[in-house]
Structure 1
């Protein structure tokens, strides 16, 4: 018995040593700003070499401007040419200003940061502690992270930092809560119980690619609904297991500084003033949410995409490229800001409008590191796109995979792994699929694999490696969130923390896909596994 226990401990120790080694190596990397600056320099040099050698690929790809298939020759573009130097000089500011995560994060923090400074979030967390069973905190955070994907990227800004605070309110390690939230939001990006903004986007690209073989074929936004709904519970369960059994034991007891005051760290009952302020604020938030629902239900609502309602239905007009979804982060910021003002006034935290203005400034000041990092990240992402290196990598990899002769199950599994690998170099799910769909969908259709199944395989690979890719646009922001609770945290800390999620999610999701294919279950309404020519 003692030998068996010792063996289990040794195995656990070996695994922990591997993760600790990854963390040490990762944290020895330069500061993220320096690292991405070096990445930019590397892209400049590599692009010049690739262009000088005439590196190019020819493939039938979707023109994202016209959404039509075209035979295109994609050549490497040098950033050291006259045109490349002009591009870098003239577009540095626009690359920074138009960097999508920057505006989303800053706008979201205007509301969330102010709500945190007013005391509203800490009071809400105390209430959460009082009504939520401690055993269900982890699955709640992971599940909410998965469900936040209906609003596209809003979960990164809202749910991930709140996950850390929720765990801290329960006396648990905040980085475990941050990891659980990040795993749900990013690792489970494709899962959801209802259609999200990514579904119609991918379906449109899939339809264009499928029509290369069958001009009448249409991939619906609901084509992956059944599989993704079940995946929601799978990711929640796997995230729960990894957080409680692997991540939190490795992190140990939290002893660092927190964003909550000493009074807020404990789980004591709310004071009478806090109870009154929280009640008034929660009623205000509910009233705002009800107001939004009423506006959405109104005829010709400004929050719905009226243009598609007649063809795709009422629910599609709410989700598919609607003002509600496109402005979701701003609405969240407004709701949190109003809640902060109400709570601050009732509780006495805010005496006048100057206090509110000062708190807004503090919220922005806390994001100074992220703003500086966003500048170099924006340049890198745009350099990668401008030079065509990412497209060339994806197409050449696809051609290699196409040359392999194997059965459909093995081919799908390899495709999942390939999509996950490509995801380490290209962040945008839709951009990667616009490159890969015209290559893989027709190829797999010829082998009898349905476009819906190919799309599912892509989404699994795309989701599971998000959480370990430093090139994912929100990755650096999560590092900044982690540093609020552990000043020594770096990219190595985050990668070593999230790697077990990637391994378990990828393994569990692939096994589920194999079972799904074995049982020949439909992927969504009218969406099967097999395509017949």
Structure 2
């Protein structure tokens, strides 16, 4: 089979994915449709007298219908509570405010540039891999900031800039759901998982932002090293073989606006920025030390009644405060030295800018909250969970095969539903209760979802940041298209998926804790 024929078939396949994905409505409309579907289905099931008994409970629960007197009054009385009570809002928003200060003050960008600048030439790919995988601390901003910075650093070091560009994007995207640090993503996922687990008679270990922390640390380290290896040994050599130019082949006037996109962005740091970063690191360490001292002292109020911290304690319930503090205090300290924070009034301005960046999520959260609340109130979630669990048991698929199937489904859906919160809301409502009934902790199901949520999002044309990346890429290759990007990033998707799944497998069969107070089996 000729190379041209293979390329044509690959292009047709990718074009088919693009056409299918484009037929999906955007997340708000999608969950509005799903809300309507659940509302209608619950009404018919209620009229048919459908009921469910959760294992471990003697109580039989009838499915409630939305289009009934009880259902309509429930909705009109609780529409505000369904939104405000959407658990991710409680955890995500405070963390986003603090991260917003750390980002808007310039601390995060300086930390990234310092990491790049301090890496020797041979280690640059691994520095890009590390910064990329850890980049989700800046949320989606990582897709905009990291790739062009990596390209500039690669070029300055005499390496191929396109390898830095594509490698930075691949590491940030394919490893998006993991991090050594606790981020707003952990809070978001934990909130959704907790809201779904409420319907279970045995909800298992409490799910909080650190429930997957041990697992995340291992995954982040391995995936960062893997990203560096792929950039160094696969991506860059292939770019050289293909003759991709090292120098930009397009001018600033015809590069599609990429020059404007990274105008003013440099890979170098000023003495003042470096001094500010040192102060921020020292302040962060002192703040962390004070927190540690507060919890290790005998009689600390952050211990549980037994004097420990696991499986639950005020300390674990204070994770949002801890993360908030460890971002906002160093962020303000950096800003004071760097000159980006001159008065207290600058902090609420940064809060406002951070919230402005999250307006899209706040809008989608409205319909997500209504969907989750309806799913739980009607009892359809419980019915699907029991029916699905019985089905899996009847075919003998209750072991690790069920988890692998879940990974594949999540990976395929991620090609069409890019929003992690939207996808996890959809999948958690079904799989968290279902897997709990066959013996898996909700926190472990959430950990497994992270594999599917990240690895495939860098090869789907529905990822809006693919267009941004393509704009950058065309500065070197004016004729590059989405197929070019997908083909070069496919090795990252495949390798990240396999290694991440292998890490999950090790945790599973060794029955290792995936986070403080969180195991795998109920």
TM-score, normalization: structure 2?
0.65
2:171 maps to 1:182: no
Could you say what secondary structure the match of 2:300 adopts? coil
Tell me the residue number matched to 1:417. 405
CA contact (8 A) 1:118 1:350 kept: yes
Equivalent-residue separation in structure 2 for 1:469 and 1:413 (angstroms):
20
Which digits, 9 at most, give the CA deviation of each residue in 1:202-258, with x for residues without a partner? xxx999799xxxxxxxxxxxxx99999977766666677889979x99xx9997669
> What are the Cα deviations for residues 329-378 of structure 1, in whole angstroms up to 9, with x where unaligned?
33323332223322222222233333333232222222222212111111
Q: Distance in 2 between matches of 1:360 and 1:129?
A: 28
Query: Match of 1:386?
Result: 377
Are the structure 2 counterparts of residues 333 and 21 from structure 1 closer, same or farther at C-alpha, using a change threshold of 3 Å?
A: farther
Give the conservation status (yes or no) of the 8 Å contact 2:104–2:350: yes
8 Å CA contact retained: 1:165, 1:177: no
Deviation of 1:379 after TM superposition, in Å, equals: 0.5
In the other structure, the counterpart of 1:273 is 272
**Which residue number corresponds to residue 120 of structure 1?**
107
Is the Cα contact below 8 Å between 1:259 and 1:484 reproduced in 2? no
1:42 matched to 2:37? The reply is yes
- Assess if the C-alpha contact under 8 Å between 1:225 and 1:524 holds in 2: no
Q: Map 1:423-442 onto structure 2 (within 5 A).
A: 432-433=431-432, 435-438=434-437, 440-441=438-439
Q: CA separation in 2, counterparts of 1:381 and 1:197?
A: 11
Q: 1:430 to 1:166 in 2, by over 3 A?
A: same
2:293 alignment counterpart: 294
Partners of 2:95 and 2:203 lie apart in 1 by: 36
Partner of 1:445: none
Shift of 1:81: 0.9
Partner of 1:170: 150
Q: Which residue of 2 aligns with 1:136?
A: 126
Aligned positions, number = 438
- Looking at structure 2, the residues matched to 487 and 88 of structure 1 have their Cα atoms a distance apart, in angstroms, of 44
Aligned equivalents of 1:238 and 1:22: distance in 2? 27
Q: In the alignment, is the contact (CA less than 8 A) between 1:39 and 1:380 conserved in 2?
A: yes
Q: What is the 5 A alignment of 1:280-429?
A: 280-302=279-301, 304-309=302-307, 317=309, 320-404=311-395, 412-414=400-402, 416-417=404-405
Cα 1:347–1:175 shift into 2, 3 Å: same
In structure 2, C-alpha distance between the alignment counterparts of 1:182 and 1:79, rounded to whole Å: 37
Q: 1:59 to 1:516 in 2, by over 3 A?
A: closer
Question: How far apart, CA to CA, are the structure 2 residues paired with 1:29 and 1:346?
Answer: 48
Q: Which runs of 5+ in 1 are unaligned?
A: 61-68, 146-155, 199-204, 211-223, 442-450, 471-477, 526-530
Q: CA deviation at 1:80?
A: 0.8
Secondary structure of the structure 2 residue equivalent to 1:353: coil
Work out the CA distance in 1 between the residues paired with 2:366 and 2:325: 26
Give the TM-score taking structure 1 as reference length: 0.64
